[in-house]
Structures are given as C-alpha cells and as structure tokens.
Structure 1
Amino acid sequence: MNIPVGLLIGRDFGKAFKPTEILKGNHDNELFAMKTNIGWLVMGKTNSDHRTFATIVDQPVNRSVVTFQCSASTRKDIQKLIDIFDRDFADSDDSSLGMSVDDRQFMEIMQTKIHQDNDKRVVMPLSFKTSPLQQNTKHAAMHRFKMLEIKFARDQIYKQQYIEFMNDIIKKHEATKVHDENDVANDWYIPHFGVYHLKKPDKIRVVFDCAVKVGGVSLNNFLLQGPEHINCLQGNLLRFRKGPVAVMGDIERMFHQFRVLPEHQRFLKFIWYDENTKPATFKMQVHLFGARSSPACATYGLRYLANQYEKENPGSHAPTLIHRNFYVDDALASVDSPKEAIKLIQDTQKLCASENLWIHKIVSNCREVMEAIPKTEHSSSLQNLHIHTDNLPKETSLGVTWDTEIDAFTFKFDLTLEKPNTRRGVLSTVASLFDPTGFVSPAILNGKLILQEICKSNSAWDTPLEGPILQKWKQWKAQMRHIDQIQIPRCLKPNYLQVVQTAELHTFADASTSGYGQCAYLRLKDKANHVHVSLLASKAKVAPLKSVTVPRLELQAAPGAVRLANKIQEEIDIPD
C-alpha cells in the first residue's frame, strides 16, 4: 500500500533497532519477528502470490515487510476509505513533471509506428514494454468461454444482446475470424464478458479481459499505460462555462475506431462462434475496451488526427476543440454565438469523419444550433422532442447534470438503492457521490464527518448503527434528497452584462475543528459598473482525527487556495 513516509530512521542509529525479543517460525524460510524500541519488525520474504498489505520497513539482505492480513472485501473497503478522504483534495499537480521512462518509451513507439492506412484509418501498435511470454492462454480463454455458455443457457436476453454485440463488431470489421489455426508460440487469447451501465440496463458492452492472469501474468502486464494526456476534468468544466452557447457530444465507440498494427493483432485473439455456431478463433483488429494502453492510444490517435487536419485546414477551431475540450471521448465546449457553435460542430465532424469517427449525442442549450444538426446526431433524450415547443432535457456528462432548458447545473444523487446502516453501507453511500466541481462539497462533507465519527468509534464493518450516530445518518440522507433544488448557472457571464471591463478571481480558504477547504469565485464588471459573481469551484476535507489547532489547519488550507487559483487561471484563461 502506498503511504506517506512519516519519519526516516537510519540503520546507523542502532539503539532504535536493537532487538529485545525475537519470534521465529517453524521452518528456515518462514518470516520472523523482532521487537525493538520502535515496535515490531517482521523480516524475511513473502510469497508473491499471497495477497497482503505490505509496507517496507528495512532491508539489510532480504525484503523486510510489515504484513496485515485481511479479507479481499475489507481491503477494497479500506482503499475506498482512503480515497474518500483524499480525492476531494488532490492538491498535488503532476502536470509540470516530466514524463517517466515508461511514458517516453510509449511516445517513441507511437511516434515511429502511427500512420493512416489506405482507408484513412489511424493505425497504432500495441504499446509493448516487452514481448509477451509464451503461455497457454487459449486453454484459459476456452474455459472462460464455456463458463459464458453456461450463463447464456441461464439468461436468454443476455445471450441475445451479447450475440448482437459480437455480430456487430464482426460486421464492422473490428474483429475477424482467424482461418489459420496454427498459433505462434506467444499468441495471446483474451477472455471476454458483458457489462451493463447502471443507467442503460438494456445496452450491453463486451469487455475483453486483458487483466486476467495466466501463469501469473496478464496481457496488461506487458503493455505500457502511456502518459496522462487527458485534459483536466475540472478544466474542461470551467471552459464549458465561458460562453453563452454551449454544446456537448461524444465519439461513438472511440477505442474501436483506432486500428491495431496487423502484426500485433495475434495478441488479441479470442474464442467466439463461427457461422456454424461452433467455437472458433477470432482476433480483434482495433484497440480494446479493457486493455491498459487503450485510453492513451485513443487520445494520442485523436490528437494525431487533429494535428494532420490542422496542417490541411489552418485557422480551423476544430483541432483546438480536440486538444482542449475533449475528455477521452466526451466533448464540452462553449462559444459566444449560435453561428460560431454550428461552425465548430460542423468542422469537428468533418475532422472526425476523415478517420471514420462519428460525433453523436449532440445537445445544446440553443434551439438554433440543434435545428442545424441532423436529428440522427441528436442526443437520445432529444429524439422525440419538438425543439420549439417542448422543454429541452437534462444531460449528464463528466459527473455533472446540465439542465439545457434553464442552462444550469443541477444535482441529484441516487440514494434509492438503500445500503445497510453499517460502517460498510455508509462508506459505500458516501463513496458513490461524485462532485468534480465541488459545488455541493459542504453537503458531502457532512456525510464524510459521519463516516469519520463511525471510524473513530472502531465500529465493525457490518455492525448496525444505533443511537445518535444512526439518527445523524438518517437525517443527512433525508437532506441529500432535496439537493436537486440547488441550481448553479452554467454561463459565467449573464445576458445583462455588457462588454466585460475587469475579471477578478477571488479565492478563499478557511478551517474549523471539523474540516477545512477552499472556494473560488469569478467577479466580472462591465463598463456600466454592473457586477456579477460566480462560484467556480470548491474543495473540502475533514479535519484529521488527531487533534490539530485551527490555525494549523488554516495554514494547511491556505497553500491549497493558491494552487486552486493557479489551476483555474491556467485552465480558464482569465486575463491577469
């Protein structure tokens, strides 16, 4: 487990490591423990296949670890607990750091081998760190396929949707049957399974399990993940608020639009039914949902395409949209006029069409823009609406809900799936609340404070809550059901504001014994001295369980306010 270092003690300080008691195992290769002035040290090697939490303590000859045994479900809950208390306050910014050795290797592989084929499709290699080892992956894939057939027999709807999905990727030449059954030594077979989105229970997506291990290794173990070139989520949402006319859309099946080098397709084999409904060998010809490298490859390929388009179409804003306003396959942008929005959409569609990419699910708060876009490319929520008479729908993207009719962000957290009133249930509920902008962070903070209080009481994971803490929890859930009454205007500049004369960023930080945080506001003033103030972002974190004075917490919050202000200026391009 990656944890911060509290104190480094050199081995030359012998008094600290002087053993006062030693416990030995029954065999020579077992761990042994030493009691010292700084606590117990567990020494020796551990079985790499034994799943444990481990922290390196000291290493004179062999690896020394402190090991905590716990169940798989508890390990996940502990990690979730750590994430819950840390994710709102990701103050560290790695954007200025150089690329790692692995990232540089990934970029070199892509730069030397990316190209467009005769059909203008972008072709990229798999980003292998090292060549995959020879493993009997076909046997493992066939075993998983037989398990899949058992599930098919139990669930005919699942089977039908699964077959339709697989037939579709074969029809689109994203996968093809392998006619030569003679495998090369290190060909790789990948199992697959179907998943459903919680909000799309009737739409299946087949995921290829590149993380499944055969002989202790998976295909993902040999793939470079690639650099973090995805745009900042908070930055995307900030830029989405700049102009009065906003548009949203995404690229259909983005990963599958980028082809894999023919010589690398042998590592993407899988088992599926042939035309005679007999199990046969197929191979994917595109990058996969489930491969470790696919997000970085898709982002690199999309930006490569934008750079090629920019050379042929100088002055177009579409490449800027690709580079600046895409978050993986989701696009969010805002401009000053409907005409500008229509031109931007059409240019971006033209750019994407050059590689057979299709931008769809388009939605805008401007009816004039929606009229200019073919209905087949509208969001599904707009398909059956009359643009001029019906209210425009709510759309969700990147963790926020946008009410296009009133052009405001709204909030709704699904608490209908009642979790048990236990420590585990509280953790699961609080962890499910995602607020990337921090607009409702004060409300979520109250839930985290309840969770912290439960942790402080050392309550067991599945022991029912009772007494005052149970009442607090029920009251908080009841309050969160009314959070949909909060509305945050999307556009930072209201209609009544004329030409902006000054734009000021105001950031605040504060702390209490319960928690600390920051918030940032944008203050605009026009030539007529009209003033408008908008909330841009906020962050909140619970105070540590260990008693800390309020001045010290305020000092912890203040640097975060500076980082927040710098990040906003970098992302939203506010003039100095």
Structure 2
Amino acid sequence: MQSLYRRDVRSVNKDARLPMKPYENAVPKLLIGLDHGHLGLALRTRHFAREGPSAAATALGWVVFGPVEGRRDTPSPKPCLLATSLDDNVERIVKDYFEIENFGVKAAPAAAASDDVRSQKILEDTTVRVGCRYQTGLLWKTDNIVLPRSYDMAYNRLVNIENKIKRDGQFAQEYSRIINDYVVKGYARRLERQEIAMGGDRIWYLLHFGVGNPNKPGKIRLVFDEAARVGEVSLNSALSKGPQHYKALASILFHFREGAVGVCSDLKERFNQVLIRPEDRCAQRFLWRDGDNQRDPDVYEICVMTFGAACSPSAAHHVKAANSKRFQDSDPRAVKAIVDYHYVDSFATEREAIEVSTRVKEIHAEGGFELCKFASLVRLQ
C-alpha cells in the first residue's frame, strides 16, 4: 500500500499543487508488463525540489515518485502509483476476453466409472429417511454376489480375542462395554435362532478386534475387519468404494484461514448414525459370548454402517448431502457450509461462524448426526 499527502510537497513550496488528488493506502490494481513500458514514459514533468518528489504525465496519467516528507533517509525512490481511475468495465472486458479465448478448449469433466454409476444408482434408490435417521444399502459390485462361508474364520478370531481378554482384565472390561454399548444404542442386535437359520448368498461374519490409542490409555476402538479373506474373497472385495465427492483438504484449509475467527467441529460416530437396509445386514454379522467359552457364541447383526467397509465413506457423504439439500431454500448459507466446508466428518468455517455453525448443527441433527467438539480459533490480525 502507498500514500501521498499534501504535506509531502508543502515544505518545498507552499503554493505547490499536486496534479492529482492525494491518496492513502492505495493498492495497485493493474500490473503492466515491460513490453508496454513506453506507456510509462514522461510526456511532461513537474518538480517540487531537486531531490523530489516529482510528478510526470504519462499516457496512462500522472504519477508521483521520489522521497517525500519524513522519508528523506529512504535509500531508494518511493514507488509510484497511477493517479488515473480504472474504468469499471475493464474487469468485465478482460473476463469476456478470456472466456472467448477458452471457448471450446476447456477440459471436459472426467466420465464417471461404470462402478460409480452403479453405486450412485444404489445410493439414490435405497437412501430413505427412517424416523429421525437415514437408511441406505451396501454398494454391491454385482447383483448376483455369492459370499463363501465365513463362520469358521470368525470363530477362530473370536477365540484369539478371548485369549487376550483372559490376560488383560482392563481390556476385557472395555471390550465388553463397547459391544454392550452397540446393543443399547441400536447399532447391533442379537439374532434369534430362527433368524440365524435363514440362509442366503450374502451372509458374512465379520472379524472384530480392539485397537488402543497410546494417547488415551485404557480406551480402545472396536474395529470390524471387512478385508479378512476366505480364499480370495473378502466382504470389501464384493463392495464398491462408490463415487468420491470429497472437497480437497487444501481448499478447506485455505478457506479456514480467510477470516479472523475460525470454528471447527466433528460429526460424532458418523457411520453409526446411518442405518443399513435390512436385506443387507446379513453381511454384517459377528460372534460374541462375553468371554464365556463354555457355550456357543451368540450371533449379532450390525444395523448401521461399519468403520472399515469400503463403501461407508461414500455412502455417509451421500446421506449427509441428501439431508442438507432439504434446507437449500431456507438455509442456503448453512447448506453451503455443509457442502463446501466439510472434510469427511470434520467441519471448518470462519465468516459469520457462530450463526452459520449453529444452523449447521441443527441441520445435521435433522439427519440423525451430532455435530460435537466445537472449537474456536481467534487469529491475531
């Protein structure tokens, strides 16, 4: 930014007058290349002192250069600014020029893969609102998927988990608490004998194990291993990842830096808030008997999306977007924040942070999601 005041030339000659109006904190709007340097040549000049400042009339208008009052020790001349005002039409003309230049040569959007087209259709056909939450289907690669028998593999893994449970009482307590929590929250349910006896080509038993976090001693996360294979087949090998519509992380971070105040938060247990349609749940069974290896294990069925399924990220994103679209007319700013300022399950915004973030939280609640862990960041300007 550059400034020019009347006092800058008053000490030289009290009657001296600038050939332009003073300006303060002006910012250059147009950069002219050296191939047009002749436009800056002086047609006539006006000097206010031997050292300056001086004014020159050019083909583009008057410019002032040289040291000003209070800046005599400046080792180099003060940069000059054009005094002419730019026509408001210049920006439009330049924009039109580039649009014409690029006509017909813009890169065409990449064609969607056949798997993505099929997955998108499944999402659109199966995603429905059930109560206060949404329900969708697994993204099967084909309609005639036949899964191999996986009960024995799941049983052997259960025995391994039980051996670890016997050695670590704290681990056993936390593991049992998580599974009971799944049942209480409706994420999973225990099947009756008649339900287990019902056959099908898409029955799959998930392996499960606990993963600890060194930053959170004593706390574990229950993970379902959809990549475990029977022969050459795993559950994930039968599922498509689905279309990927995430915003680039860099764009979220750049936007988050635009304002003085930033707000970020997370969607709590995002996958677990989306129901899987009943006909697909048979592919999400698992075994558990709470450490009692003297009896046959109970069979449980997971009713929601699982962390580890190939299609979960895409399906959860689709549900989140579908829920927000219902509020496009009434809350366009909040919907834009959901669509453009979310990265996976994290939300980051800045402008009008409190008002927009509150409405975003309410819209998520309409779809069964809980926006939690709000954090504000105030940046020094």
TM-score bin, normalised by smaller chain: 0.5 to 0.7
- Give, as a single letter, the amino acid of the residue that structure 1 aligns with 2:287: I
User: 159, 169, 176: which one pairs with 2:189?
Assistant: 176
Query: 2:134–2:368: 8 Å Cα contact kept in structure 1?
Result: no
Specify the SS of the correspondent of 2:301: strand
CA apart distance, 1:203: 2.5
Query: 1:128–1:224: 8 Å Cα contact kept in structure 2?
Result: yes
CA apart distance, 1:254: 0.5
Matched, 1:229 2:242: no
Q: Which runs of 5+ in 1 are unaligned?
A: 1-93, 367-406, 408-488, 495-576
Partners in 1 of 2:298 and 2:325 — Cα distance?
40
Partners in 2 of 1:283 and 1:222 — Cα distance?
19
Counterpart for residue 57 of structure 1: none
Specify the SS of the correspondent of 1:309: coil
CA apart distance, 1:134: 3.7
Alignment RMSD (CA, Å): 2.1
Give runs of aligned pairs for residues 440-479 of structure 1, distance below 5 A.
Answer: none
Matched, 1:350 2:368: no
User: 217, 239, 242: which one pairs with 2:233?
Assistant: 217
Matched, 1:301 2:316: no
CA apart distance, 1:196: 2.4
Partners in 2 of 1:169 and 1:348 — Cα distance?
27
Give runs of aligned pairs for residues 66-77 of structure 1, distance below 5 A.
Answer: none
Give runs of aligned pairs for residues 160-559 of structure 1, distance below 5 A.
Answer: 160-179=173-192, 180-186=195-201, 187-273=203-289, 279-311=297-329, 314-335=330-351, 340-365=352-377, 407=379, 494=381
Query: 1:316–1:347: 8 Å Cα contact kept in structure 2?
Result: no
CA apart distance, 1:197: 3.3
Percentage of identical aligned residues:
29
CA apart distance, 1:316: 3.8
Partners in 2 of 1:202 and 1:248 — Cα distance?
27
Query: 1:317–1:344: 8 Å Cα contact kept in structure 2?
Result: yes
Number of aligned residue pairs: 269
- Give, as a single letter, the amino acid of the residue that structure 2 aligns with 1:292: A
User: 148, 159, 180: which one pairs with 1:135?
Assistant: 148
- Give, as a single letter, the amino acid of the residue that structure 2 aligns with 1:321: A
Rg larger for? 2
Specify the SS of the correspondent of 1:206: strand
Query: 2:176–2:290: 8 Å Cα contact kept in structure 1?
Result: no
Counterpart for residue 155 of structure 1: 168
Query: 1:134–1:185: 8 Å Cα contact kept in structure 2?
Result: no
- Give, as a single letter, the amino acid of the residue that structure 1 aligns with 2:121: E
Matched, 1:104 2:117: yes
CA distance 1:95–1:360, change in 2 (3 Å)? farther
CA apart distance, 1:283: 0.5
Partners in 2 of 1:95 and 1:178 — Cα distance?
50
CA distance 1:231–1:298, change in 2 (3 Å)? same
Runs of 4+ aligned structure 1 residues displaced above 4 Å come to 274-278
CA apart distance, 1:97: 2.1
CA apart distance, 1:315: 3.5
- Which structure would you say has the larger RCO, counting Cα contacts within 8 Å and 6 or more residues apart? 2
Partners in 2 of 1:137 and 1:319 — Cα distance?
43
Partners in 2 of 1:106 and 1:352 — Cα distance?
24
CA apart distance, 1:136: 1.6
Query: 2:162–2:291: 8 Å Cα contact kept in structure 1?
Result: no
- Give, as a single letter, the amino acid of the residue that structure 1 aligns with 2:232: G
- Give, as a single letter, the amino acid of the residue that structure 2 aligns with 1:151: K
CA apart distance, 1:198: 4.3
The superposition leaves residues 334-382 of structure 1 with CA deviations (integer Å, 9 ceiling, x where unpaired) of 11xxxx322112101110111221111101025xxxxxxxxxxxxxxxx
The superposition leaves residues 195-217 of structure 1 with CA deviations (integer Å, 9 ceiling, x where unpaired) of 12343343211111000001210
Partners in 1 of 2:150 and 2:375 — Cα distance?
44
CA distance 1:111–1:243, change in 2 (3 Å)? same
Counterpart for residue 71 of structure 1: none
Partners in 2 of 1:266 and 1:247 — Cα distance?
40
Partners in 1 of 2:108 and 2:318 — Cα distance?
17
Partners in 2 of 1:134 and 1:107 — Cα distance?
23
Specify the SS of the correspondent of 1:225: coil
Partners in 2 of 1:326 and 1:266 — Cα distance?
32
Q: Which runs of 5+ in 2 are unaligned?
A: 1-106
CA apart distance, 1:162: 1.1
Specify the SS of the correspondent of 2:313: helix
Counterpart for residue 16 of structure 1: none
Query: 1:177–1:280: 8 Å Cα contact kept in structure 2?
Result: yes
Specify the SS of the correspondent of 2:373: strand
The superposition leaves residues 511-534 of structure 1 with CA deviations (integer Å, 9 ceiling, x where unpaired) of xxxxxxxxxxxxxxxxxxxxxxxx
CA distance 1:120–1:95, change in 2 (3 Å)? farther
Query: 2:275–2:304: 8 Å Cα contact kept in structure 1?
Result: yes
CA distance 1:328–1:135, change in 2 (3 Å)? same
Specify the SS of the correspondent of 1:363: strand
Query: 2:259–2:350: 8 Å Cα contact kept in structure 1?
Result: yes
Counterpart for residue 62 of structure 2: none
CA apart distance, 1:99: 1.6
Q: TM-score, normalised by structure 1?
A: 0.45
Partners in 1 of 2:153 and 2:264 — Cα distance?
42
Specify the SS of the correspondent of 1:243: coil
Query: 1:274–1:280: 8 Å Cα contact kept in structure 2?
Result: no
- Give, as a single letter, the amino acid of the residue that structure 2 aligns with 1:123: Q
Partners in 2 of 1:96 and 1:236 — Cα distance?
22
Query: 2:209–2:223: 8 Å Cα contact kept in structure 1?
Result: yes
Query: 2:208–2:223: 8 Å Cα contact kept in structure 1?
Result: yes
- Give, as a single letter, the amino acid of the residue that structure 2 aligns with 1:122: Y
- Give, as a single letter, the amino acid of the residue that structure 2 aligns with 1:145: L
CA apart distance, 1:178: 0.8
